Chains A and B, each alone.
Chain A
Amino acid sequence: MNPVIPLDHIHEEHREFVGGKALAMAAMAQEGILVPDAVCVTVLAYQEYVATTGLAERIFMELNRKDFTDMRWEEMWDASLRIRNMFLNASIPLLLEKNLRLALEPIAKKGPVVVRSSSLEEDSSKVSFAGLHESYVNVKGIASILDHIKLVWASLWSDAALLYRQELSLSPEKSAMAVIVQDLIQGDKSGVAFGQNPHDESQAVIEAVYGLNQGLVDGTIEPDRWIIDRATGRIISHTPALRKEALFALDEGVRLQSLPFEKQMVPPLSNTDLKRVYELVRRLEFLFGAPQDVEWTQKGPFFYALQTRPITTLPGAPSEDKRAWYLSLRRSFRNLVNLRKKIENEHIPAMVSEANQLATQNLKILPDNELAEKIKKRSHLYQKWVDIYWADFIPLAHGVRLFGQVYNDIVHPSDPYEFMDLLGTTEMIGMKRNSMLEQMASLIRNDHILAKSLKSDIPQIINEEFEQRITEFLHEFGYIFCHTSECDEGRRGVIRMAMKLAERKAAERRIPARGKKSNNLRDSFFSLLKNSQRTYAAELLDLAKASYRLRDDDNIYLGKIEEQLSVALGEGKRRIENRGIESGEELTISEVIRALENPHVKIKRRKEKKAKENHFSITMRQLRGQPASPGVVRGKARVIAHPSDVFSFKAEEILVCDAIDPNMTLIVPLSSGIVERRGGMLIHGAIIAREYGIPCVTGIPEATEYIQTGDSIIVDGDFGIVTIANKAAK
């Protein structure tokens, strides 16, 4: 069979080669409904491509890196990005390319096209997913069409598809993707119509915008919306939009443009137009035997159906199913720009001011019941900021992803994370804090009397500049070691950390140095862009840099609030310990509150689990995670299980932890490698490791269980592997 079939040659027997979307397009064309001229690149082309290039097995290996149930959404995004890059870098085999060129040349010569997905899985699924696979609008020339076909193929493995892999029965053995290449109709008005309102069976819904409807589909542009009575065809309601902008085809791709005033004042559809769209929807419902979800566009007097599919139920979303939330993280550029403003102008100043205000309260003088009240309040406040963190801070991280995708599409780098080197030159708070510590360390190195005095039991600071730096540090970053009930540790902790840094030889000191490389990458990226793309790319890079920097800084700001909760909690635990209970450390917040409110309350000790007898002992030899920062290093592991463990950290050890929190950022420059349980390329550990050029592997859930302090381990940041070379003697 030819890998490309024209629309008018597609019939029901081709379903398994062309997917549901292409089949529906063909049915409409054959019924005389106006659709853009199109051809379908069948799944045979996809299958030949992945088999010949070895991608089939590489996708398998990528998806088998780790059990899916252990994968966080961010790791799925990473896997998806790596797979996408494999597609970008694997050329279409010569013979297949020749056949595709031959078959696509006629449509390519006619003008710009839309390259759409038509997957078999999406069609067979009982649930519908918006934005599961990619479509590209305004693609010009055969070479670009072939590149975009590869991107649509890659979107079979998008992060969204991986999230819903079970519902889709997604498997590298069976799944395949067909692609529709259709004429671009540069409509004056476009929209989406639902033959039946998903929320009310008696109604239909029509949405419309000026220009192309891609902006409506991805949520960039708010549409006018009409509700129509299915029984009579009467308009029940019209909700007008704020019509400021519209999406138009420009050069290559699409751009937002301001709408002229006269259009802003008039809804995109007149009542007569509305009637015609509604007629189209009803006709399609009759043709396919079920209410349809239709994308349409109007050019001059003509209405075109761009694609249609049955209205299916939305993915069931029980409250514990977070997948819909994960998908909501994929936001548009415009949305992210607004989110950045909100975070920089509202959230961060509020967090700083609330933390500072809490720091002025003297908890030691409060009676127990008032202290309990303060702990409650601080705990609620902390929870409030955790919620905001999830709602606004985490989604902003998508700015980095958005830029990464654009960068990879333009540059086709062999390392899918090369783009991150362009983001790191902005100063992050964690880095600033480390550099202040390094300045203190330098004073210790150069002042032997100071160094000697600091080593004594009651350290006396006899260097004015050092004293000043300590004060500045504590003023700016707070008592970051105050997670214990002994809060003097804050000041001592900072001094100890500076002393540790001072012990390092000059050659061992890690300083982030990447300016030149970053500039070269930036220049070569921009040189590959067309003039019309540069402004958007520059804005996107700026957003990505802010998003990257805030992804680390937000952690520190949230840490400031958490620190205030810890201080209050520490005070509570200290008082409970004074009552003769052995250790307050393990008490939960509510136990501390109860014990403070009622001195007679009894606290149950938690029972320790009894170890099961076994004939074997298990040792992990090699663990596989995500390659988060390149390089290979061998060293002694230091497992940080408790905040106070950071004090024991020695230079050149490998940091093994759950996730790098604000305390640990300080020891990063001392470490030779990093292993984190949490996975992902955009988590703090990965970001900070890349800044310092330290090999890092993330996403090994068993790391803190099977690696012990003192074990000799090898961190392979290139391939995401951690090897336990020698266990420490017990």
Chain B
Amino acid sequence: MTDVDKVSKMVHDVLENQDLAVLATHSSGQPYTNLVAFLATKDLKGIIFATRCTTRKYMNIVKDARVALLIDTRSNEEADFHKAMAVTVTGKAQEVGGEEREKLAGLYLEKFPHLIEFISSSHCGLFKVVVSKYTFVSGFQNVVELEVIK
């Protein structure tokens, strides 16, 4: 499990098969987490999610763009201890606009067609997390990091 291609494929598979991620932001050092519906870009360099501008996470990101996301394959059964895989994403979230928003919103809605009204509403921000690192955990304790080369 040491090959870049192999690990990025495994990360890709986890991200593709999950809909929800735990998003971590903070306010004055106090950590705060939420569930968000997410989409990973094909090149794995970005994670897309949406939130209304009235939410606490929106305000937290405005103050500090550094975020982390946790995406995992747990099924809430005992077998999770050997079977479950988890991906922690760290990076910076930026709200997207204009053409890029239109393009990413289209991709996002392909995965979550039922969120059309939510995405189209005027106070919904679409965010792209520019990924700096993936931390991939498998087999309970094997941990490998994939860093995006800039």
What is the CA–CA distance of A53 and B127 in the complex, to the nearest angstrom?
Answer: 46
* A273–B78 alpha-carbon span in the complex (Å): 56
For B146, give its contact among A618, A702, A705 (CB under 8 Å): A618
Q: A616: which of B1, B4, B83 is its contact (CB, 8 Å)?
A: B4
Please give the distance in Å from A116's CB to the nearest CB on chain B: 31
Find out whether the CB atom of B7 lies under 8 angstroms from the CB atom of A618: yes
Determine whether the beta carbon of B78 is less than 8 Å from that of A57: yes
User: Given A614-B4, A616-B148, A702-B2, A622–B143 Cβ distance below 8 Å?
Assistant: yes
B33 to chain A, nearest CB (A): 22
Residues of B contacting A622 in the complex (Cβ-Cβ under 8 angstroms): 141-144
* In the complex, residue of chain A having the shortest beta-carbon distance to the beta carbon of B143: A622
CA distance A61 to B141 in the complex (A): 10
Known: A614-B4, A618-B4, A706-B2. A64 touches B144 (CB 8 A): no
Q: Indicate the size class of the contact surface on chain B.
A: 20 to 34
CB nearest neighbor in B for A57: B78
Let me know if B94 is at the binding interface, CB within 8 A: no
Q: How far is the CA of A57 from the CA of B77 in the complex (A)?
A: 10
A63 and B142 CA atoms in complex are apart in Å by 14
- Report whether over half of chain B's contact residues are helix, strand or loop; otherwise say mixed: mixed
A624 touches B139 (CB 8 A): yes
CA distance A621 to B137 in the complex (A): 10
Verify B147–A617 contact, CB threshold 8 A.
Answer: yes
The residues of B that contact A618 with a CB separation of less than 8 Å are: 2-4, 7, 144-147
**Complex-state Cα separation, A66 to B1, whole angstroms:** 10
The reply to whether B43 and A67 form a contact with Cβ atoms under 8 Å apart is no
**Contact between B146 and A617, CB atoms less than 8 A apart:** yes
Chain B contacts of A56 at CB under 8 A? 78
Contacts of B145 in A (CB 8 A): 618-621
Near B by CB (< 8 A), chain A positions 46-85 give 54, 56-57, 60-61, 63-67
A409 to B54, CA, bound (A): 65
CA–CA, A621 to B142, complex, Å? 8
Residues of B within 8 A of A54 (CB): 78
Select from chain A the residue with minimum beta-carbon distance to B146: A616
Provide the residues of chain B in CB contact with A617, threshold 8 Å. Answer: 4, 146-147, 149
> Across the two chains, which residue of chain B brings its CB closest to A701?
B2
- Decide: A621 and B147 in contact? CB cutoff 8 A: no
By CB atoms of chain B within 10 A, which of A63, A623, A705, A723 has the most?
A623
Query: What are the residues of chain A within 8 A of B7 when measuring CB–CB?
Result: 616, 618
Bound: A623/B139 CA distance, A = 11
CB distance A61 to B142 under 8 Å? Answer: no
- B-facing residues in A544-580 (Cβ within 8 Å): none
B149/A60 in contact, CB under 8 A = no
Distance in Å from the Cβ of B85 to the closest Cβ of chain A? 11
User: What chain B residues lie within 8 Å of A616 (beta carbons)?
Assistant: 4, 7-8, 44, 134, 146-149
Q: A614–B9 Cα gap in the complex (Å)?
A: 13
Asked whether any CB of chain B lies closer than 8 Å to the CB of A604, the reply is: no
Shortest C-beta distance, A672 to chain B (Å), equals 22
A721 within 8 A of B: yes
Identify which of A615, A624, A723 gathers the most chain B CB atoms within 10 Å of its CB: A615
- Kindly provide the distance from the CB of A715 to the nearest chain B CB, expressed in whole angstroms: 14
Q: Which residue of B lies closest to A623 (CB)?
A: B142
- A65 adjacent to B139 (CB under 8 Å): yes
Q: Are B147 and A57 in contact (CB under 8 A)?
A: no
A-facing mask of B1-33, CB < 8 A → 1, else 0? Answer: 111110110000000000000000000000000
Chain B nearest Cβ from A705, distance in angstroms: 7
Q: Is the CB of A61 within 8 A of B4?
A: no
Is B118 interfacial (CB 8 A cutoff)? no
- B135 contacts partner chain A, Cβ-Cβ < 8 Å: yes
Contact with B along A618-632 (1 / 0, CB 8 A): 111111100000000
Pairwise interchain contact B143-A705, C-beta atoms closer than 8 A: no
* Contact A624 to B142, CB < 8 A, known contacts A57-B79, A61-B82, A617-B149: yes
- A61–B140 CB distance below 8 A: yes
The smallest C-beta distance from B47 to any residue of chain A, in angstroms, reads: 15
Bound-state CA distance A623–B143 (Å) is 6
In the assembled complex, the Cα of A721 lies from the Cα of B137 at a distance in Å of: 13
Contact across chains for A621 and B144 when beta carbons are under 8 A apart? yes
Which residue of chain B lies nearest to A54 when distances are taken between CB atoms in the complex?
A: B78
Q: Which of A63, A65, A618, A624 counts the most B-chain CB atoms under 10 A from its CB?
A: A618
The answer to whether B45 has its CB under 8 Å from any CB of chain A is yes
Q: Which residue of chain B has its CB nearest to the CB of A63? A: B82
Residue of B nearest to A70 (CB): B1
- In the complex, what distance in Å separates the CA atom of A74 from the CA atom of B8? 31
Given contacts A617-B149, A622-B142, 5 further A-B contacts (CB under 8 A): A57-B81, A64-B82, A616-B8, A616-B146, A618-B144
User: Can you give 28 contacting A-B residue pairs, CB < 8 Å?
Assistant: A54-B78, A57-B79, A57-B81, A60-B83, A63-B82, A64-B140, A65-B139, A66-B139, A614-B4, A614-B5, A614-B149, A615-B43, A615-B45, A615-B148, A616-B4, A616-B7, A616-B146, A617-B146, A617-B147, A618-B3, A618-B4, A618-B145, A619-B145, A621-B135, A622-B143, A623-B142, A624-B142, A705-B2
State the A residues within 8 Å of B (CB).
Answer: 54, 56-57, 60-61, 63-67, 614-624, 702, 705-706, 719, 721, 723
Among all A-B residue pairs, the 8 with the closest Cβ atoms: A622-B143, A621-B143, A64-B82, A60-B82, A619-B145, A616-B146, A57-B78, A61-B82
